[in-house]
Amino acid sequence: MATALSAVGQVFQHQSEQLVRDAWAADTAVWTAAGLGFDDIDPGADFHVEVGPPRVRLDAAVMNFCWTVTGARLIPSLDADLELAARGTELSDLQLLGRYRFGTDPPRTPNETSLAHRAVVSAVRRFLTSVADASMMAPGFGA
C-alpha cells in the first residue's frame, strides 16, 4: 500500500493536469461527431488540478482531488475524493467518488446533457486508467 501511494503521489506531483487534459482529448472526435461542439469540450482549455494530502487508513488512503477548467463550456469542474484501497497484499483499487458541476452556461438540451454526462464518465475512467498506468512506471514501484 505504501509503495502504491508513493507512486500515485509522484504521478500527481508531476503529471496530474496533463493526464486530465489527455483523458478529455482521447475522445474529442467521438463527442464532436455525436454533436457536441469542439469549443465546448476543447481539451486545450485551461485546467487547474489540486490534490490534497492523503488521509491514511489501515487499508486505504483518501485524497481530495479536484479540477477546475475555463475555456470549455461542457467540461465541468470536479470535486471528489480519490481513494487508493488495498485489495490483498499485491493489488490496489483506485476510485474517484465525487460530483461535477457545469459553469454558468450548462448543457442546453436533453441530448447535450446526455452526451456531456457520458463524456465526463469517459474522461474520468480514462484519467483513472492513466493514473494507474503511470503509477506502475513510477520509480521504485514494485521494487
The residue ranges of every structural domain in the chain are 2-136
Indicate the residue type of 21.
Answer: R
Per-residue model confidence (pLDDT) at position 92? 83
Longest CA span, the chain: 51
Rounded to whole angstroms, the Cα distance separating 6 from 140 reads 9
pTM value is 0.90
Q: For 102-126, write each residue's pLDDT tens digit.
A: 999 999 999 999 999 999 999 999 9
Beta bridge partners of residue 78, listed in sequence order: 67, 100
The Cα-based distances of 24 to 2, 3, 52 in angstroms read: 29, 28, 22
